Every structure is written in structure tokens, then in C-alpha cells.
Amino acid sequence: MLPAVPWSEVDRRARAAAGGPVTRTGGDAGLTVRGLVTDSRRVVPGALFACVRGATSDGHRHAAAAVRAGAAALLVDRPVAPDVPHLRVPSVRAQLGPLGALLAGDPARALRLVGVTGSNGKTTTSTLVRGVLEAAGARTGVVGTLGATVGRRSRGTSLTTPEAPELHELLRWMLDAGALQAVVEASSIALDMGRIDALAFDVAVFTGFEEDHLDHHGTVEQYWASKARLFERDRTSAGVVVVDDPWGRRLADQAPVPVTRVGAAGDADVRVLGWRTGVGGTEVLLADDTGGHRVRSPLVGRVHVTNLAAAWATGRVLGVPAPQIAAGLAAVAPPRGRNTVLGGAGRPLVVVDYAHTPQALAAAIATARDLCRPGGRVHLVLGARGRRDRYKRQGLGASARAADVVWLTNEGSHGEDPAAIVAELRVGLLGAPAAVRTVLDRRAAILAAVRAAGRADVVLVVGRGHETRVLDTTDPLDAVHLDDAEVANLALIAEHGPPAAADDDPDDLDALADRAS
């Protein structure tokens, strides 16, 4: 249970964090509040309700409803009608981190924290870092796109990085469950909106960069600057940065904290010397200041090479011995929807992945090509999310040119015309040697791709990964169940039967060709 916090302590923390005047109205010496809430529908008796201004709503309009639900006090930035104790501050949103931390009992102060940001690879790298830290003997929680987990317990989250009050409550939940450490995925939007304010990280990790979320940030520079905020002195003590792209090298050069560089370049502190991958997993040869190290992981695909290297570097920065890092990486199961491999055993392989940017899609197709048997083809099931990042649709189409057959389909139109979305993807495919088919029904598209694939082929289904709900309107209540992996499994059985008793797929890493990084 969250602690009861004196109203005077809330006032004191708010004044310390405010960039302007704070006015306290009402509340006697005995008043306490328990928990900080931003949604009036989630108010419980005794809570402090924060009236946050959003893009489409203003929490001040729901103040009365929050009071009726039992809110003991309000956090506002303009006058409101309910006659209850309240603090008026210059910006309610700017107070969510500091007050969220206070009302959760400041759990972050008792935890060693790792923050992970980057355009791609956040979820996998966060999962790997958690495995490394747990191999060192300390229970570690993780918060990210797949939800929050500590030990065998898990909770769902609606955002990659939850709003600050929820995030601090999750850290309290982890601390109460015996965690000593936590790994937090830090999205660019979360950094922009202050969701990780009041957190001090021991290490910040940057997994790489390509333009994304420009519908929020406006420009690539603003997007990069948002991610770079994680590496400010008041946010982290050290950084681990993948420097295989110019943006990573720029961050490593400009960060005001000590940085461990990761990548294939000769000046990297943790250098990728070579790697190989197959359906049995991935093996990476790394070099650092202690010499060479061979890392093995059940994760499939070249895209995970730098994720493994970044997790290795993070462990070293935190003082974890090399044998324990290697053991932790080897024990981490592939995160759901990140190059999830199905089929084989005399049937085509199906790979389900979250890739939803042009670079991530190119890497996913390269992995699918690695997994093909001799003469095999790559069948790509591709869509794009409606009302989001429209500018990158042609780029996705351009990356898709590397596949042999492209099945264009709906990924969740969110009120847009699915056919219009597919038409924008097609622009990037103009003149491509790939055969292009359009099957707007996503289930039917996956089934058609699996039906058309031979045993040497790979069907790559991208864009949704772990997600199990798809929305074609603007009303979230209209979302319906659709799990790409579930549909692919059913298609494999329907079209190719159950797996053969003997699997002759080359899942032994020693049977795979070495690949220089």
C-alpha cells in the first residue's frame, strides 16, 4: 500500500520542484494524501488528483468528478470550482515526477536504475540487462513496452514508459517484491513529457537511432535531442552508447557523463569482432579492456548483435563479472514478438517481429534471409499503423524491396482508409523486383503468405510483434483480438500440418557460417 503523506510534505516537495510560485489553499495540519492520480476514473478516497492539461482534454474539467470519487486534494495550475484543499503550481505536468515519487515513498532512492532509450532495440536490450543483473544475484524489475515484471509477477502498462505517478508506483511494487534494481525503457516522448523526472539512473543506454515519432517531435533534431536528455548529468552517472550510426557517435562525443562506446568501430570500448546467427540463436565475439569474450544467446537475428553488446557493456559498467554477464545473456529467453521463430521441422519458418521503422524492417528482412534454406524466398507481411508517422510509409515500402514476395495488409487503421495506407506503402515498392500482393484482411494475408511458402522459405510478419489487439476506428472500445503469432501457428498447422518428428533444421550454431560484423 502507498504511504499516507502529510499535506505539508506535498507542499514542500512541490515548492522545491516548481519553476515559479506555488499557492497552497486549505488543508489543516492533520491532512494526508495517499497516491497521485491523473485520471478521475481511477481516483480512490484520499488521493491527490492532478489536473493535467493534455492534447485533447484538460484534467481541470474533471476536478469535480475526482472530488466526488473521494479525492482529498487537487493539484492545479488554474482556479477550479471544488472547495477542497489544493496546490496551484505553474505546471501540473512538471510536478508529476517529483510528487509521484514522494507519494510512492521515493522508491527510486532505494533502487539501482538503468534507463534504456533508442529508436529500436529498447525492449530486447532492457530484457537482456535485467538478465545480466539477475545473474549477478540481485532481483531486478523491468518496465517497458511489454509491461512491468519483477520475479514471476507482471503487470500491464498502456505506454512504453508510463506516466510518472504510475511509474513510481511500479517501482514501489518492485521494491516491495524484493527488487534491488530496475531497468526502465525511456521513450523519447516520455523524456519530452517529463515522465522520468525525479529518477536518477546509474547507467543510461542508447541502442541506436533513426527518424521516428516525427508526428510528435516535428524534426529529427528534436527527436534526437529528446533521447539525449537521458544522458544529462542530473539524470545519469554513466552512459553506454551504440556508435554504429552518426547519431550515436554524436551522442558519445557530446554526453557530459562518462560513456562506454559499443559497436564494430575500432575505437569502440566494447567492440563486436564477429557474429553468427540461426534458428538456434546468436553467437557474438566481443572485445573489451579485459580481452575477448564469446557470448551465446537464444535470441535470433543479426539485429540482436548490438543489443547483446550493449547489455554486456552495461553489466561491465555496473561491475558485474564477465562470467556472470555471459551466463545472464545465455539464460534470457527472446522477448515476445521480437524475432519470434515458428515453424520449421519440414515446414516453412515464420518470424514474427515488431519492426515498424525502415531500418528495423531492413534488419528483419536480412535476418529472414539468413534463416532461409538454400534457394528459399522471403515472404513479407507488411502494413503500417493508421494516424501515426505517415511520413515513414514510403520508407517502409523501400525497405520491403529486399523481400521476394510482399503481402501488403492492414496493421490497424485507427480510422484511416486501409487501402490508402497500403497505397502509400506501394510507392516505395514501385519498380521493385519483389512480387507485391494486397490482402487487406490481416488474418487472410498471413494465411496466404504461409500457404504460398515452401519448406525452404521464411514468412516474415512485421509491425505488431507482441500486440494482441487491433483497432480500425478511433474508438478504443472497438479493438478486436488479433495475435500475429497465434494466427501464423494456426496457418502453419492448416497448410503444412504439425511439425515432423525429426527436425533437420540447422539450429546448431557451429553449423552456421561466420559473419563479420
Annotated binding site: 40, 160-161, 187, 195
CA distance 430 to 195: 41
Place of cell 539501482: 112
Task: Using CB atoms within 10 Å of the CB of residue 187, give its burial: 0 to 12 exposed, 13 to 18 middle, 19+ buried.
Answer: buried
**Alpha-helix runs per DSSP H in 412-470:** 418-429, 442-452
Dihedral of the alpha carbons of 383, 385, 389, 395, in degrees to the nearest 10: 0
CA distance 406 to 436: 5
3-state secondary structure of 428: helix
CA neighbor of 309 nearest in space, from 333, 325, 327:
325
Report whether 275 contacts 294 (CB < 8 A). Answer: no
Under 8 Å CB-to-CB from 30, ≥6 apart: which residues?
none
The CA–CA distances, whole Å, from 380 to 86, 369, 377, 402 equal 55, 11, 10, 9
3-state secondary structure of 460: strand
Report whether 299 contacts 281 (CB < 8 A). Answer: yes
CA distance 23 to 38: 20
What Rg value do the Cα atoms of the chain yield, rounded? 24
How many C-beta atoms surround the C-beta of residue 61 within 10 A? 12
**Largest alpha-carbon pair distance within the chain?**
78
Report whether 363 contacts 282 (CB < 8 A). Answer: no
Report whether 377 contacts 455 (CB < 8 A). Answer: no
- Which residue pairs, CB below 8 angstroms and at least 24 apart, start in 148-156? 148/173, 148/174, 150/174, 150/177, 150/178, 150/179, 150/182, 151/177, 151/178, 151/179, 153/177
